[in-house]
Structure 1
């Protein structure tokens, strides 16, 4: 079957691994039962034809070659073995007869051998068997539509010393060393022979391209599939808090289980004493409980929890609301607040800025700079990575490299390191070429034999250096647009409310052109997404007038659209379903414009990383050739390189752009105008993002006082 698998891969280079395994399984399970080429074509022909542009005849030829591999003694000819003539035949002489009794010698009238006569009973059995096989093959084809998703696995080599300490319970180190470990996702190796060392009290930023395994690594650590000392507590902020009647503030306080247990015990003892208990040990225990509560500063816990919640955007009223009343985004903030309050030995954060507005991001940056234990954070926010980490972990080519300093220092050090490696490689190549030239020139010169041998030995001893592997630069290419004569888009005295006692904004007077690069900022819940929907005509203003050019065509992107992609198809099929009737090459070209090419375009959407799904959503949005882009938090799950490419793509785009984002670097790259939502209005800010950041920092200072 190995030959069949290799042959299928050679004929269909873009075949998905799951689909290839499915075809191999069908051929393997029925290898001895196929009677001819036609049966193989019925079993797998339609599947193979569906993933390529080959003709039916080409597929049948491939099926015949597969039959040869499975059953070398058979051919695809259903009329039996061929007879090869061993001498030339004169057809005219074959038709002549000497007399009536003589046997005819004509090749056309010759009687067939008994070996070729059909046995009626055998034919009936064969037909029944064929029907059974065809039914089985039809049943076996069902799983193609929904392939089983693979899961991640990890393996690790642990030292005997650490194992002994762990077994004795004497391991008290706060540092974490995970050495020589592998992580795979199905057949795909993400990390191989990697090492990860996390020193206690340091803050690590984990960076790398989308799809290389950053999120998977965090999950392997939190699930203890990668072994770390058992006494180290881990908290991974990944799932939102389950909503119930618990108040938000109480939900955070409950994370401190020691404090909660002491308070519960204090209440039990007090009730027992008030009910007349004369047990002297209760008074002693109560004194001990009070001492422990004082020792852990239990009375300050509510204030500390409230400060954390306030920094993450929870007002006093919100802190006293039941958790079930919050949306998913606010429950994720609550999960983050619980993690910050509980202070585990190792805190794992995966894209913590995705759910936060700019004010909360600035607060979180300041808070984490004083984080007392070990922090490992995955983030795409360049400014966050410049502010928070003390070290950068770079995941690439199945390994992890550690760099001291923040992201800016890492970027400089990595560039310098790559330049030095390239210079060293080029110098060695010149040295090799010089030695080889000497060897080739004097190989047959007896007087130089010893020198040649010396050079050969020197050449063999040179370490093998490889050229620096440059990461492929991501490019996002938005469609070309035709110019439109102004006015393009205008909001005059626009207001909106969902209920008369809850006005979102009023008296909004703003406009945009095809040259516009507008960024909308503001606190969560201030009405940014509502404003976008009014601009696009999804919502109608409750007052005022919205005017748009009749040729204006919006392209709308939001994280909500990424979540609603069909997860059971691949990227090409997704575009085919959304925009039917175009050649496959056009769908692939469109996906390639957003960095989804090769085998990646044929993977199921469910198997793609968050950033790769976002790029597919961009490709789908731009397939309709919009001339005005409305982007709501487009950077969520994109890696730093792709955000950089997004900024460059927006700057080259000839249409208009309105952007809602909290990514400071992207805002600075593209935006020429800043709209601030808040306080029931939308206003354009002079001075751009620098001025807005100063406003936010002043608000935070006032809040802390």
Structure 2
């Protein structure tokens, strides 16, 4: 367990805020560590310091000679017109077969390797960056919020990658499910200090709660003892016979001190406005089509959302989740069909990136005052601001100096000052710390109104959603199971596809590599069998037959996916999910066979 990166007695200050105050930590090359802390605690700053992108005020970063540091780049490292394969080869200086082999680990299909990287969605570009990261053979990875805006499928691939990664990792994430699945240790940054706990994030938070409760009990006992001593001293210090005892008790009293409660920091505590529970249909769509002038995203959308439901919108990136939300919010007009909100529905909206468009020169108080419903007094505004940690002088902070997490909190605070019985939330947990995400989930579960939301945070989605709508393959429909059922289906599809595809590519890549290693460039491998005309015709027939089977199974897969959106019976849904996973595995095996035949044909 050699240590490859250390932080020693580190100090870092921004204005009045002490981010690092004598902080120390050591990162070995075999531990998977989740870094947690409140918004504004300095987690991203710490990552930049460790990467060498920012300097300490005092202290030292010690890098081992054996350190091979890798990090997931947030910026765009691609050249204009550069294909996926071109980028991987340029970035890693590895041959095409090796780049292709690693690309398969992230389910980058062969056809995509030859597409321009910038033409891909953000989720696919992240997969390309991860493949490039692995090609550099790092022994320590630093990842700052790697799951933001990643769909479930890409998150699962990232988890598989990190679990199988042989080196160490330091990952910052607000997603408890992701941290628990990938990290065995937890590093907390609090009040400028770093503390490493040998357990996952759930164990760490449970341990913190237990220690806090223990410290509170100790303090309660100390306060009781203090009152007893103070009473005895007051009664006996004037009495000559007991004055010496009183002096002795006074010395005992001086030694009594309260312990600082472990990790006790200001926490977000809030509830959405109490609204009268309603019954019946909140939203109904009739054969609605959604999309943009140049393209359709989904059609024949038939939905009914009841008052009081908490609806989680799921689906892969690029399938239309945000388009659907924008349509029901009125930002986009339906391309066909109709939708209708129930009588008296008052909607509050939290949109992706909304905190980047806030008025920069407004103070927190200015913004909240503008958002507040008519008749809200200043004390109510200050109470809500305080519940979101904007207390005292912080309410006068300019929006332009707020962090991403603080801006997200501010927008949520604004929603609380309005009166809504329907909330539409697009990725509300992004840029919030673990504790604030928990507080938000608690508040939404208590909220008697209707909630329609998207989130890539599985822990948050599982806690909040009691109804699921899936967006995909040009359809938007109620999912016939719970969110756990949906995760199970995606996992099985991914598992079956990865297993077969990885074996297929390994076989194909190994054969290609062997051929390249044994023959001069441009010549066939010496071991390749020379085919007769009859053998070549037979292989071509087999190749066409396999292609027909793949096309047929691909159609079946699409039909199964479409039918899954209309099934309401749980057992039938499970049967179709298993059939879908089996079909995906069969397609992958046929693609393996296609690769082998193509290789034999040369």
With the length of structure 1 as denominator, give the TM-score of the two structures.
Answer: 0.63
User: Among residues 103, 107, 111, which one is paired with 1:306 in the alignment?
Assistant: 103
Question: Do 1:520 and 1:659's aligned partners in 2 also have CA atoms closer than 8 Å?
Answer: yes
Backbone CA RMSD of aligned residues:
3.2
Rg comparison, structure with higher value: 1
Q: Which moved more, 1:226-235 or 1:403-412?
A: 226-235
SS of equivalent to 1:180: strand
2:394 corresponds to 1:600: yes
2:75 corresponds to 1:240: yes
Superposed displacement of residue 238, structure 1: 4.7
Q: 1:513 to 1:594 in 2, by over 3 A?
A: farther
Deviations along 1:263-315, one digit per CA (max 9) or x if unpaired, are: xxxxxxxxxxxxxxxxxxxxxxxxxxxxxxxxxxx6752233312442xxx54
Superposed displacement of residue 378, structure 1: 0.8
Q: 1:478 to 1:445 in 2, by over 3 A?
A: closer
Superposed displacement of residue 316, structure 1: 3.8
* Structure 2 counterpart of 1:27: none
Superposed displacement of residue 211, structure 1: 1.5
SS of equivalent to 2:487: helix
User: Among residues 422, 431, 449, which one is paired with 1:637 in the alignment?
Assistant: 431
Q: 1:304 to 1:466 in 2, by over 3 A?
A: same
* Structure 2 counterpart of 1:251: 87
Question: Do 1:562 and 1:613's aligned partners in 2 also have CA atoms closer than 8 Å?
Answer: yes
The residue correspondences of 1:592-631 to structure 2 (distance < 5 A) are 592=386, 594-631=388-425
Question: Do 1:240 and 1:331's aligned partners in 2 also have CA atoms closer than 8 Å?
Answer: no
* Structure 2 counterpart of 1:549: 342
2:39 corresponds to 1:203: no
Larger RCO (alpha carbons 8 Å, 6+ apart): 2
For 1:666 and 1:514, how far apart are their aligned partners in 2?
Answer: 21
Question: Do 2:121 and 2:318's aligned partners in 1 also have CA atoms closer than 8 Å?
Answer: no
Superposed displacement of residue 368, structure 1: 0.8
Deviations along 1:138-177, one digit per CA (max 9) or x if unpaired, are: xxxxxxxxxxxxxxxxxxxxxxxxxxxxxxxxxx954333
* Structure 2 counterpart of 1:277: none
For 2:394 and 2:212, how far apart are their aligned partners in 1?
Answer: 27
SS of equivalent to 1:353: coil
For 1:238 and 1:472, how far apart are their aligned partners in 2?
Answer: 32
Question: Do 1:242 and 1:323's aligned partners in 2 also have CA atoms closer than 8 Å?
Answer: no
The residue correspondences of 1:15-54 to structure 2 (distance < 5 A) are none
Deviations along 1:44-96, one digit per CA (max 9) or x if unpaired, are: xxxxxxxxxxxxxxxxxxxxxxxxxxxxxxxxxxxxxxxxxxxxxxxxxxxxx
Q: 1:630 to 1:343 in 2, by over 3 A?
A: farther
For 1:299 and 1:249, how far apart are their aligned partners in 2?
Answer: 7
Deviations along 1:78-133, one digit per CA (max 9) or x if unpaired, are: xxxxxxxxxxxxxxxxxxxxxxxxxxxxxxxxxxxxxxxxxxxxxxxxxxxxxxxx
Question: Do 1:476 and 1:595's aligned partners in 2 also have CA atoms closer than 8 Å?
Answer: no
The residue correspondences of 1:264-343 to structure 2 (distance < 5 A) are 301-310=98-107, 314-326=108-120, 330-343=124-137
Q: 1:466 to 1:493 in 2, by over 3 A?
A: closer
* Structure 2 counterpart of 1:358: 152
Q: How many residues align?
A: 491
The residue correspondences of 1:405-554 to structure 2 (distance < 5 A) are 405-430=199-224, 465-467=259-261, 470-481=264-275, 486-498=280-292, 503-549=296-342, 551-554=344-347
* Structure 2 counterpart of 1:684: 478
Question: Do 2:6 and 2:63's aligned partners in 1 also have CA atoms closer than 8 Å?
Answer: no
Superposed displacement of residue 204, structure 1: 0.8
User: Among residues 380, 384, 391, which one is paired with 2:178 in the alignment?
Assistant: 384
- Runs of 5+ unmatched residues, structure 2: 501-602
- Runs of 5+ unmatched residues, structure 1: 1-171, 260-297
For 2:44 and 2:272, how far apart are their aligned partners in 1?
Answer: 29
Superposed displacement of residue 352, structure 1: 0.9
SS of equivalent to 1:559: coil
* Structure 2 counterpart of 1:79: none
For 1:600 and 1:333, how far apart are their aligned partners in 2?
Answer: 39
Q: 1:689 to 1:173 in 2, by over 3 A?
A: closer
